């Protein structure tokens, strides 16, 4: 998957987890939590959706990489590059 | 080998199962009954549908609300708000001799009722509400303190204290006389600040959504599969033995059977202090089907919590089979149901449900003959007591049913026929065995929404890497 496809995959997951949020204005360099209401269970669900849908395992110590959309895409790109979109 | 074995297909077990299966675990729910739902199941009798335990889905918040237990349940189980088809209540009350406090899903009404009936207490009431808002439902610090002590710090009129406790104890207190402070906060919010609702089709709608989701996520549900024994070594569950002798193995076991009931199944047996005490509170419930809507008899309230003297006594009735002095009267008709086009919709028939406190040992000691007679006698006595607080609907009853502590124990296997479980809660769901967890009632969350929250939080714990 390309970075753009990974970004879209994350957006799809977010749409399911926080269906009431308007994601069209999401800024890649600002923390998710500053742009929407996201609690720790939401966050865990994002990690688990990634594991379920794309079989990417993200160890707990790497969670800080997922704080922003930009950071998440950078972090996931090498880990998801071999996945067929 | 399963990742997680869940004991019980009630609301907590199903909610936990959905989450675990959705996130890839191999999950099996073992249920002793031939149907799902546990304490909140449904049945059909003489051509009519009945709910076992649904008066009100508490914690009601309107569509679009992002916080609170209902929103959490929907989000975590990936269910849309509309799917539960929740209709809000019309209006409820707490009725004591000579004074009545009405409340709806708009908290302002209760506030104004307190100001009207107890003008000297309203400031204290507001301060109490502010204090409750600070209670943290996640970290649960201070859960076990005495709620009576806290409330009486803010409210000096003992009658108002009793009137506030009455509905909250009725809808979720396993302890006699007093209530854990944490439980009081949770119940205060869920009953007074959020509110009551009901799906037109009753609990079956919610249960069907849950079981469908569970199966669609790959979960396995085995009915008529009671757990007989939980075989352990010093620190871990090794295997589960079913009533029919079959053996099932799982990495983790999550039980919604109750803490006493679960630990008693452990083999080799654990000490009495580890097993703990079962709860003592049980109920009878009468159901009366009417030939018209309750409002056509002048009764338009959703739930009435009544108490016929100034002190509210929340304990097992020791001297008789039931306690006629306090009870809950529910009319499932009195919700604001709507058709798809927005026009009002009525349940086909009128129904009045009444709950009383009951003494389980006395009910089970009766012979079959006596049991039949006592049911009849207490049905009549219950209606006589309740109709002091409602119009007399007795001439309009066309069908009846009733259940007792004996029925509850027989179909849910909760010791003593308890509905709210053991008085001592295990908030983290842990047991002396590292892979045996508790969810549901005895983890501290009761009610329909509460038990689902419990299942969700334990499943989340089991999913952590
Ligand atoms: C009369 C009545 C009215 C109520 N009214 C309301 C209401 O209006 N609003 C509300 O929110 N709540 C209400 N409740 C409470 C609510 O129903 C319960 O809090 C909730 O259903 C508890 O769910 P649970 O999953 O924790 O437990 P349960 O529903 O008890 O689930 C446990 C399951 O485990 C099964 N089981 C037990 N032992 C074994 C075993 N050894 N092997 C296999 N399976 C086993 C049982 O059969 C059961 O299905 C009411 C309850 C009653 C009885």
- Taking the domains of chain A in order of start, what are their residue ranges? 3-80
Is the model more confident about B10 or about A36? B10
Q: How confident is the model at residue B357 (pLDDT cuts 50, 70, 90)?
A: very high
* Cα atoms found within 13 Å of the Cα of residue B177, Cβ hemisphere only: 2
Distance from CA of B231 to the nearest CA of A (A): 31
Q: Chain B partners of A18 at a C-beta cutoff of 8 Å?
A: 75
Q: Quick one: how far is CA B97 from the chain centroid? A: 27
- Which chain A residues contact residue B463 at CB under 8 A? 44, 48
- Letter string b/e over residues B347-371, b meaning 16 or more CB atoms within 10 A of that residue's CB: beebbbbbbbbbbbebbeebeeeee
Nearest by CB to residue B64, choosing from A16, A18, A20, is A20
Distance, in Å, from the CA atom of B218 to the CA atom of B213, rounded to the nearest integer, reads 9
CATH placement of domain A3-80: 1.10.1200.10
Token pair, residue B263, equals: 């630990």
Q: What are the tens digits of pLDDT across the range B255-302?
A: 999 999 999 999 999 999 999 999 999 999 999 999 999 999 999 999
Cβ of B61 closer than 6 Å to ligand 1, yes or no, is no
Q: A-chain residues within 8 Å CB-CB of B78?
A: 16
pLDDT at B220 over 90: yes
Q: Could you tell me which of B159, B230, B157 has the C-alpha nearest to residue B435?
A: B230
- Please tell me the predicted confidence (pLDDT) of residue B171: 97
Q: Is A45 on the interface with B (CB under 8 A)?
A: yes
Q: What is the pLDDT of residue A19?
A: 78
Q: What's the whole-number mean pLDDT along residues B6-27?
A: 98
Confidence of residue B365 (pLDDT cuts 50, 70, 90): very high
Q: Where in chain B do CATH 3.50.50.60 domains reside?
A: 2-84+201-278+423-463
A55 touches chain B (CB under 8 A): no
**Partners of residue A16 in chain B, C-beta under 8 Å:** 78
Q: Would you state the pLDDT for residue B465?
A: 67
The chain B residues in contact with chain A (CB within 8 A) are 22-24, 64, 66-67, 72, 75-76, 78, 460, 463-465
Domain B2-84+201-278+423-463, CATH class in plain words: alpha beta
Average pLDDT value for residue range B190-215? 98
Q: What is the signed CA dihedral for B160, B165, B171, B172, rounded to 10 degrees?
A: 160
Q: Is the CB of B117 under 6 A from ligand 1?
A: no
> pTM to 2 decimals?
0.95
> What's the residue count for chain A?
85
The reported pLDDT for the residue numbered B118 is: 98
Structure tokens at A75: 């972090």
CA angle B105, B110, B113 (to 5 degrees): 145
Give the single-character DSSP code of B45: E
Query: CB atoms < 10 A from the CB of B120, how many?
Result: 11
pLDDT of res. A84: 86
Return the percentage of chain B with pLDDT > 90, whole number: 94
pLDDT at B70: 97
Strand partners, B95: B100, B306
Residue B427: CB atoms within 10 A of its CB come to 18
Mean pLDDT to the nearest integer, B209-215? 98
Neighbours of B205 (CB within 10 A): 17
B408 CA from centroid of ligand 1 (Å): 9
B191 Cβ inside 6 Å of ligand 1: no
Q: Do A52 and B464 touch (CB under 8 A)?
A: no
The HSE-up count of residue B267 (CA atoms within 13 Å, CB side) is 10
Q: What is the mean pLDDT of chain A?
A: 92
What is the rounded distance in angstroms from the CA atom of residue B137 to the CA atom of residue B121?
27
Average pLDDT, chain B: 96
């Amino acid at each position: 998957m390309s970075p753009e496809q990974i970004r879209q995959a994350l957006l799809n997951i977010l749409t399911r987890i926080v269906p009431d949020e308007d994601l069209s204005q999401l800024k890649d360099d600002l923390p998710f939590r500053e742009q929407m209401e996201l609690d720790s269970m939401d966050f865990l669900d994002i990690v688990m959706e990634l594991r379920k849908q794309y079989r990417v395992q993200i160890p707990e110590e790497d969670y800080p990489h997922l704080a922003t959309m930009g950071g998440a895409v950078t972090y996931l790109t090498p880990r998801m590059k071999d996945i067929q979109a | 080998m399963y990742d997680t074995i869940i004991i019980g297909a009630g609301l907590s077990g199903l909610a936990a199962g959905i989450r675990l299966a959705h996130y890839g675990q191999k999950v099996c729910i073992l249920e002793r009954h031939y149907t799902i739902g546990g304490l909140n199941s449904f049945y059909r009798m003489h051509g009519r549908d009945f709910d076992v335990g649904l008066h009100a889905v508490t914690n009601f918040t309107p569509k679009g609300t992002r916080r609170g237990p209902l929103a959490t349940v929907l989000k975590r189980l990936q269910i849309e708000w509309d799917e539960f088809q929740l209709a809000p209540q019309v209006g409820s009350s707490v009725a004591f001799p000579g004074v009545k406090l009405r409340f709806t899903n708009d908290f302002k009404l209760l506030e104004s009722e307190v100001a009207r009936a107890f003008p000297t207490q309203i400031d204290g009431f507001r301060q109490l509400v502010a204090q409750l808002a600070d209670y943290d439902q996640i970290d649960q610090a201070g859960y076990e303190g005495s709620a009576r002590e806290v409330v009486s710090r803010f409210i000096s009129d003992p009658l108002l204290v009793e009137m506030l406790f009455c509905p909250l104890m009725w809808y979720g207190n396993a302890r006699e006389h007093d209530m854990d402070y944490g439980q009081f906060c949770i119940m205060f919010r869920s009953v007074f600040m959020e509110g009551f609702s009901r799906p037109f089709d009753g609990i079956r709608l919610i249960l069907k959504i849950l079981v469908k989701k569970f199966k669609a996520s790959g979960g396995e549900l085995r009915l008529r599969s009671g757990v007989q024994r939980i075989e352990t070594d010093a620190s871990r569950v090794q295997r589960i033995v079913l009533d029919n002798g079959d053996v099932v193995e799982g990495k983790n076991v999550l039980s919604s059977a109750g803490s006493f009931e679960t630990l008693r199944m452990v083999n080799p047996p654990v000490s009495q202090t580890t097993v703990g005490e079962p709860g003592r509170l049980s109920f009878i419930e009468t159901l009366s089907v009417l030939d018209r809507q309750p409002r056509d008899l002048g009764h338009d309230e959703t739930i009435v919590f009544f108490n016929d003297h100034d002190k509210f006594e929340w304990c097992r009735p020791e001297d008789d089979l039931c306690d006629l002095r306090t009870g809950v009267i529910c009319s499932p008709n009195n919700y604001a149901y709507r058709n798809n086009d927005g026009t009002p919709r009525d349940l086909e028939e009128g129904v009045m449900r009444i709950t009383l406190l009951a003494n389980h040992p006395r009910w089970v000691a009766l012979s079959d003959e006596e049991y039949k007679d006592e049911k009849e006698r207490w049905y009549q006595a219950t209606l006589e007591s309740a109709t002091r607080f409602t119009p007399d609907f007795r001439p309009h009853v066309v069908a009846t049913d009733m259940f007792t502590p004996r029925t509850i124990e027989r179909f849910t296997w909760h010791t003593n026929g308890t509905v709210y479980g053991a008085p001592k809660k295990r908030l983290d769901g842990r047991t002396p065995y590292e892979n045996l967890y508790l969810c549901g009632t005895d983890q501290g969350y009761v009610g329909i929404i509460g038990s689902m929250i419990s299942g969700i939080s334990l499943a989340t714990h089991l999913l952590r890497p």
